[in-house]
Amino acid sequence: MTTLPRNSHIHRTVLDNGIVVLLTENPTADIIAGRIFIRSGSCHEPSEKSGLAHLLSALLTKGCDGLSSMEIAEQVESVGASLGTDASADYFLVSLKTVTADFANMLALAGRIMRSPTFPELEVELERRLALQDIRSQKEQPFSIAFEQLRLAMYKDHPYSQSGLGDEKTMASLTRDDLVKYHQTYFRPDNLVISIAGRIKSSDAIALIQEVFGDWQAPINQPIPGLTVSEIDTAPHAISTFQQTQQSIIMLGYLAPAVDSPDYAALKLLSTYLGNGLSSRLFVELREKRGLAYEVSAFYPTRLLTASFIVYMGTAPENTRIALDGLKNEVDLLSSAPLCDDTIQAAKNKILGQYALGKQTNAQIAQIYGWYETLGLGIDFDIRFQEMISAVNAEQIYAAACRHLLTPYVSIVGQEEAVRKAIKSGNSKQ
């Protein structure tokens, strides 16, 4: 067992079959939460199989060797536990939470569905139809349309260009054989991180995991397929969809660095300053002072590969042009002069306070440490992230803005006349 010195309350162990186990002992509540990460997500799908990881996440609990979907549900619900799955761009996730006395049984059930899913044909067909309904539903939602076209404009052939749901063509073409192949390729012990937090000793957790997963061996002479990533060769431009909506959705996107970049902390802080909460710059300036925004925000997701820095707002159709100008102007101000120290400190306090609040429950603790390990950052990133935020200064923030937040990709959804005027105005100012 190896323990990182700055996180002495977290035990990190690598089992003989390659599974990384993280254990955070927290005896304050009689609850244990587990997060089982597979280091493969939707970005590992071939483009023609887009939506495959999502479909697999919907089906993993719908049957396994010896248990039907209903029997799995009954085992979980009979003890008031939770067991779920999810797929993101960078990883696949199995989540469980239960009282301490039932943890061994729930872990065994999770191991069973992970190692021997049956993917019943009737369940495959049902979940595929439900996914297709979700895809069609998103086509009616202005925010989803704006985000989809922005992502495609920015990433093009890059794995991050794909929607987690895929599209109607790819989802309709997925088969049970595709699910089996994806599962056999990526669900293997040397591709797993198991993070547990709760009222359990490290030695007991290791013993339980050994019992459930210890005999699982990786295929011999079959390395985990690497991720093929094409260069992003797109240039910022505007893209629009005309729709008779009650509001225009405006999004600005900037290609931004991955989590391992020296600019990561500065951009995280800028995202918080611009669009996080009722005191954020965008909310105060564009909604409170100018009355332009129904909603307005910014986000910069943590990504293993090239990420995106996005600001967006919803506005009345007649305000589309001035709202676009106002949104872009607020971002442009970041590269016109450094922020003052008081503004930076306020943003630091907000992001660090929210970060601390995001680690209150066992589920949150298991999630964050497992996530960092899965991304290759190590559990020590928990402390390093806070140190990076605390240390970043005005010059570094200004330099990051000048490097990454200059010319945006623009995505607008709204009524045709309003959108055309906004784009024309924007083009004339470039």
Query: Using one digit for the tens of pLDDT, what is the confidence trace for 74-130?
Result: 999 999 999 999 999 999 999 999 999 999 999 999 999 999 999 999 999 999 999
CA 26 to chain centre: 26
Which residues, 6+ apart, have CB-to-CB distance to 172 below 8 Å?
Answer: 128, 132
With respect to residue 231, please indicate whether it lies within any of the assigned structural domains.
no
Distance CA(328)–CA(252), nearest Å, equals 8
Residues 335-357: pLDDT tens digits? 999 999 999 999 999 999 999 99
The pLDDT value given to residue 297: 97
Q: How many structural domains compose the chain?
A: 2
- What domain range includes position 207? 5-213
For 147, other C-beta atoms within 10 Å of its C-beta total: 20
Instruction: Please say whether the beta carbons of 390 and 352 come within 8 A.
Output: yes
Supply the pLDDT for residue 227: 84
- Give the lowest-confidence range in 161-165, 185-189, 363-367: 161-165
Instruction: Give the type of residue at 227.
Output: L
Residue 107: inside a domain: yes
Is residue 228 one of the residues assigned to a domain? no
In this prediction, residue 2 carries a pLDDT of 36
Q: Does some domain include residue 226?
A: no
Position 340 scores a pLDDT of 97
pLDDT tens for 234-290 read 999 999 999 999 999 999 999 999 999 999 999 999 999 999 999 999 999 999 999
Sign, CA torsion 136/139/141/147: positive
- Residues 364 and 57: their CA atoms lie apart, in Å, by 20
For the segment 3-46, what is each residue's pLDDT rounded down to a tens digit? Answer: 343 555 899 999 999 999 999 999 888 999 999 999 999 999 99
Q: How far apart are CA 234 and CA 217, in angstroms?
A: 42
Residue 428's pLDDT band (cuts 50, 70, 90)? low
Percent of the chain scoring above 70 in pLDDT: 97
Q: What is the mean pLDDT of the chain?
A: 94
Residue 311, SS3 per DSSP: strand
| pLDDT exceeds cutoff 70 at 387 | yes
Q: Are 188 and 256 in the same domain? A: no
CATH number at residue 198: 3.30.830.10
Transcribe 226-282 into DSSP letters.
Answer: PPP---------EEEEE---SSEEEEEEEEE--TTSTTHHHHHHHHHHHHSSTTSHH
pLDDT of the residue at 429: 62
What's the rounded Cα separation, in Å, for the pair 363 and 293?
35
pLDDT at 425: 75
- Helices 381-391, 341-357: crossing angle, 10 deg rounding: 160
Per-residue pLDDT band at 231 (split at 50, 70, 90): confident
Domain termination site, one of 198, 213, 228: 213
370 with 244, same domain: the answer is: yes
- Rounded distance, CA 95 to CA 107, Å? 10
Instruction: Identify which of 376, 372, 390, 377 has the alpha carbon closest to the alpha carbon of residue 24.
Output: 372
Which residues lie closer than 8 Å to 414 by C-beta, 6 or more apart? 142, 240, 242, 243, 245, 247, 248, 249, 317, 320
Confidence of residue 226 (pLDDT cuts 50, 70, 90): confident
More confident residue, 263 or 424: 263
Question: pLDDT tens-digit profile of 140-179?
Answer: 999 999 999 999 999 998 999 989 999 999 999 999 999 9
Given 176, 196, 213, which residue is the final one in a domain?
A: 213
pLDDT value, residue 7: 55
- Beta strand extents in 262-407 (DSSP E only): 295-299, 307-315
- pLDDT per residue as tens digits for the range 280-329: 999 999 999 999 999 999 999 999 999 999 999 999 999 999 999 999 99
Q: Are residues 313 and 386 in the same domain?
A: yes
Q: How many residues does the chain have?
A: 430
345 within some domain: yes
Closest among 178, 170, 179 to 64, alpha carbons compared: 179
Other C-beta atoms closer than 10 Å to the C-beta of 27 total: 10
The verdict on 193 and 336 lying in the same domain is: no
pLDDT value at 1 more than 80: no
Helix or strand run (H / E) with residue 411:
strand 409-414
pLDDT digits (tens, 9 = 90+) for 62-79: 999 999 999 999 999 999
H helix and E strand count, the chain: 16, 13
In-domain check, residue 227: no
Phi first, then psi: give them for residue 265, nearest 5 degrees: -65, -40
Distances (CA, A) of 355 to 49, 69, 383: 36, 37, 11
Residue 427: the pLDDT is: 67
Same domain, 101 and 152: yes
| Residue 430 pLDDT grade (very low, low, confident, very high; cuts 50, 70, 90) | low
| Residue 23: inside a domain | yes
The token duo for 45 is 């799908």
Instruction: State the pLDDT at residue 131.
Output: 97
> Does residue 232 lie within any of the structural domains?
no
